[in-house]
Amino acid sequence: MAKSPSLEISAKGSSLRKQVNELWQYRGLGISFAKRDFQVRYAQTFLGPLWALLQPLLSLGVLYLVFQKALNANTEGVPFISYTLSGLIFWGFFNFNLSQGSASLIQARGMLQKIYFPRLLLVLSKSLVALVDLLFVLLIFLFVAFADAHFSFATLAGFLGALILSLLASQGLALWFAALSVRFRDLQQLIPFISQMLFFLSPIAYSPDLWTESIPLKYQDLLYLNPMMGILEMWRAPLFELENLTLSDLPWWGIIWCFSLFISGWIYFQKSERKMADLL
Amino acid sequence: MTKALSIENLGKQYRIAGKEHFWALKNVNLSLEEGSVLGLIGANGAGKSTLLKILSRITAPSEGRVLAYGKMASLLEVGTGFHPELSGRENIYLNGSILGMSRASIRKQFDAIVDFAGVERFLDMPVKRYSSGMFVRLAFAVAAHLDAEILLIDEVLAVGDADFQKRCLQRMDSLAKEKARSIIFVSHNMGAISGLCDQVAWLDQGQIKQIGEPSAVIEAYLKGLETLQADIAIADRRDREGDGRARLTSLEAHNGEAKKSIAQNGPLQVDLSWQSNSEAKSQRIELHLFNSRGNYLSSFKHDLSPKQKQCSLKLTKVPLMPGRFFFNVHLYLDGIRADFVGRAVYFEVIGKDWEANEIAAQRQNPGIVLEANWLSEA
């Protein structure tokens, strides 16, 4: 009676279907990782989870001083606070995924040399934490910007679209950086800089017109190389009724770019996963 | 007998410094029956950890394959993934899921884990406040309650106090015997290996040198360790430690006539010489005497002036039982170890009557002969 083996280990990699199956099997661990991040995060702090509300409010304050008071930035006719908060919802999510996801492998190197689990989980589980943060900022937004926002089916679609795009783009970048930083530790130094640069290049506290007006029309699609461009456009258009996006008006280049970041990141990560323990 | 694990033609190649390739494992074939314990022994660098790393999927093999019939879990180090800020309770869940248990099965085993570790009162305290003993107990307790059918265990027993080690060994034994778990166990502790394993494989330079019944393989391994190192001249030994400011170049044990074999209660002389390229202010030689089993017997220390490059130790009378013995040699410059060679020189003690020699050969664990008289009235 020959039982069939439940696991085969060999030099060959596993198929996409097997990878996804395995991720599903290990979903409990992904949740455990996210839970750990939450529990550890506010351990021994005085204010505890209140920080999740305080942090976005504090950065909003600083942005107000700089972009509104000092620079008098254009916000497409929407009140500055509402406009900026709507951007911070997704920037916070994007940035958390990018910076925490990129660092996750190096941080867990002790574990990587001792125990097997799909390494993807370390990066992917950061999204659960980021998602909870996003909900906090969304809550603030609903309180503060209720009067300025327009709620419709299109707004909901825009929100979900932007959420999916920012998930794909930030996870895609994080997968690339996490896998690369195992080989090139220099990236650890570079990532905070990239995140800061991306913040200033993204139309979070100012209108994207700043960029579109200063770049010739035929190169404008290049702006979508910054994933936040497409994400914010999709979300704000219905939210503030800035423009009526039809299917053909969607930032398709941005969408394609976000998808390709994720797919390529996944493939590269899986390819290097097998060598990680030898390099760490 | 059902097969639990089969390793077929497994090999792992590493690249050193971009150019050289070397096989850490090559042509390894092994199989593990359900409910049995396989011990892995071998010198450092023989490939034991590489094999475990492949089996636990931390690193991928370069060739060959492994087939596992059942869930496999590895305990390369207890306490991996524990987070100091989390409480004992939270860590049990976190560590359990890292080790591949579902939340439901952790919940089911929770009381048993806490009971085994003996940390009921501290369950809600962050583990960073645990004593190291409590930490290790909790970590092993989680590991000992894994629901995997195949367990890979590496030197887990190197931690904890003697009493706890005993409980760990008992737990492993009962996992195999009562719950039909299959275990691969790597250790340098020959006592634990021979006590627990049904079968032992000896890895040597990435290949399996011998596999079979524990006592036979352990005996052959210890013997091999001797001849391997005894045959290499000390100047050519690569497996040395110390910072390298000095190197022992020759070392010989003799009794004036014969080399390496001396008479019981006869004299023994050890001649040493070394090179050093450092301006040390002081030198010290230490010789440590062991029997062939690796049991420590005695030490000899000698301080020298910095210019000396050779010395001899003379024992006028060697009251050792018949059998084989060896010295480890340490050379210290300014109190810091510059060179160390383990099992640097062997010698054989021959008794006067053949019977004693025969017993010694069988016992393989010779000791010291102390002069004594029985006092008893007729």
For chain B, residues classed under CATH 3.40.50.300 are 3-227
CA B4, CA B183: separation in Å to the nearest integer?
A: 10
- CATH class as words, domain B232-363: mainly beta
Distance CA B269, CA B278 (A): 28
Residue of B nearest to A271 (CA): B60
Q: Summarize the confidence of residues B310-317 as an average pLDDT.
A: 92
Chain A residues in contact with B74 by the CB 8 A cut-off are: 114-116
Within 10 angstroms of residue B89's Cβ, the number of other Cβ atoms is 16
DSSP, res A247: G
Cα–Cα dist B92/B27, whole Å: 39
CATH 2.70.50.60 residue spans of chain B = 232-363
* Min Cα separation B340/chain A (Å): 29
pLDDT tens sequence across A244-261: 777 777 888 899 999 999
Helix, strand, coil percent content, chain B, rounded in steps of 5: 30, 40, 35
Q: Sheet containing B20-33: give its strands across.
A: A7-10, B63-68, B3-16, B20-33
What are the φ/ψ torsions at residue B261 (nearest 5 degrees)? -125, 130
Q: Which residue has the tokens 């790393």?
A: B53
Between chains, do A11 and B53 touch, taking CB under 8 Å as contact? no
Nearest to A9 among B65, B71, B102 (CB): B65
- Which of A4, A8, A10, A122 is the mutation pick for testing B, counting most B CBs within 10 A? A10
A36, B64: Cβ pair inside 8 Å? no
* DSSP-derived 3-state class of residue A71: coil
Question: Which residues in chain A touch residue B56, judged by CB atoms under 8 angstroms apart?
Answer: 115-116
DSSP code string of B299-336: EEEEEE-TT--EEEEEES---B-SEEEEEEEEEEETTE
| Average pLDDT for A163-173 | 97
- Best of B1, B30, B72, B85 to disrupt the A interface (most A CBs within 10 Å) is B85
pLDDT of residue B228: 61
How far apart are alpha carbons B151 and B175 in whole angstroms?
10
Give the range among A74-83, B15-24, B326-335 with minimum mean pLDDT.
B15-24
The whole-number pLDDT of residue A3 equals: 67
Q: How confident is residue B7, by pLDDT bands cut at 50, 70 and 90?
A: very high
ipTM passes above 0.90: no
Over range A208-237, report the average pLDDT. 89
* Cβ neighbour number for residue A164 with a 10 Å cutoff: 16
- Each residue of B222-257: pLDDT tens digit? 777 666 666 677 887 777 778 888 899 988 888 877
- How many whole angstroms separate alpha carbon B47 and alpha carbon B40? 10
pLDDT at A160: 96
Domain B3-227 carries which CATH code? 3.40.50.300
Question: Is the Cα dihedral A183, A189, A195, A198 positive or negative?
Answer: negative
One-letter-per-residue 3-state SS of B359-371: HHHHHCCCCECCC
Name the least confident of A229-243, A263-277, B73-87, B273-287.
B73-87
Q: How many CB pairs under 8 A join A and B?
A: 97
**More confident call, A238 vs B17:** A238
State the average pLDDT over residues A76-89.
92
Q: pLDDT tens across B113-139, in order?
A: 999 888 899 999 999 999 878 888 888
pLDDT at residue A1 in the model:
46
B-chain residues within 8 Å CB-CB of A35?
94
Phi-psi domain of B213 (left: phi exceeds 0; alpha: psi -120 through 50; beta: other): beta
Give the per-residue pLDDT at B19.
63
Facing residue for B94 by CB, picked from A7, A36, A277: A36
A139 pLDDT more than 90: yes
User: Per the structure block, which two tokens stand in for B127?
Assistant: 């583990």
